[in-house]
């Protein structure tokens, strides 16, 4: 179970303010492309699951993820997640021809076939780009995202934690002290992508 604090930043100015304040704690920046898939009969989405291929940079890395039964309440997300690395070249072939996902040797993709009964193959749903700045701040790993959808840009702070309420409290104190406008995230990036509009 992945448990994350998710706080939405109001706009580009709030994002810039946060990244400037956190710059002494910067660890790495990831340029990500997130692409999503479902069964041709919506077998995954019908059971509140999502299959994602995430590419990093110039295809240095590809990660396949299966997420299921996500719940997001008061800025804390809980989701079942299973992921593993996939050869980026194979990942790109599957993006071009989603039907190939069914024949790739992968524990996660095997689960998709077995648990969701994908009979007629997988179809691509599209996706979005994300620039993720990672910070090591007060013992927390903060991920500050700038997510570019076709219909707008979303700014968000994510922080995976075994103590989400404690992490949320620290983050909210930091944002309030620095007069940064934020709110609790109310939907996952995938849900926003599927809705076709920013919340």
DSSP 141-165: EEEEEEEEETTEEEEEEEEE-SSHH
Tell me what pLDDT residue 119 has. Answer: 67
Tell me what pLDDT residue 1 has. Answer: 84
Contact 182, 14 (CB under 8 A): yes
CA separation for the pair 85, 193 (Å, rounded): 23
Tell me what pLDDT residue 121 has. Answer: 87
Dump pLDDT digits (tens) for 84-114. Answer: 999 999 999 999 999 899 889 999 999 998 9
Residue ranges in 8-81 assigned as alpha helix (H): 12-22
The model's pTM is 0.94
Beta strands in 40-101 (DSSP E): 49-56, 61-73, 76-86
Dump pLDDT digits (tens) for 165-185. Answer: 999 999 999 999 999 999 999
Dump pLDDT digits (tens) for 45-80. Answer: 999 999 999 999 999 999 999 999 999 999 999 999
Sequential DSSP letters for 93-122: HHHH-GGGGGGS--HHHHHHHHHHT--S-E
120 has a pLDDT exceeding 90: no
Q: Which residues contact 197 (CB under 8 A, 6 or more apart)?
A: 151, 152
């Amino acid at each position: 179970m992945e448990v994350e604090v998710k706080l939405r930043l109001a706009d580009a100015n709030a994002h810039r303010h946060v990244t400037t304040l956190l710059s002494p704690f910067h660890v790495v920046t990831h340029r990500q492309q997130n692409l999503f898939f479902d069964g041709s009969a919506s077998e995954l989405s019908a059971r509140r699951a999502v299959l994602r291929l995430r590419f990093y940079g110039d295809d240095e890395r590809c990660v396949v993820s299966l997420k299921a039964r996500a719940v997001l309440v008061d800025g804390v997300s809980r989701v079942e997640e299973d992921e593993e690395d996939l050869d980026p070249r194979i990942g790109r072939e599957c993006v071009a021809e989603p039907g190939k996902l069914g024949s790739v040797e992968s524990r996660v993709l095997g689960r998709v076939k077995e648990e969701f009964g994908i009979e007629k193959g997988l179809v691509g749903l599209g996706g979005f780009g994300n620039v993720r700045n990672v910070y090591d701040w007060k013992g927390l790993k903060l991920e500050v995202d700038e997510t570019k959808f076709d219909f707008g840009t979303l700014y968000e702070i994510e922080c995976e934690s075994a103590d989400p309420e404690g992490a949320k409290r620290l983050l909210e104190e930091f944002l309030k002290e620095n007069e940064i406008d934020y709110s609790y995230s109310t939907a996952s990036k995938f849900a926003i992508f599927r809705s076709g509009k920013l919340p």
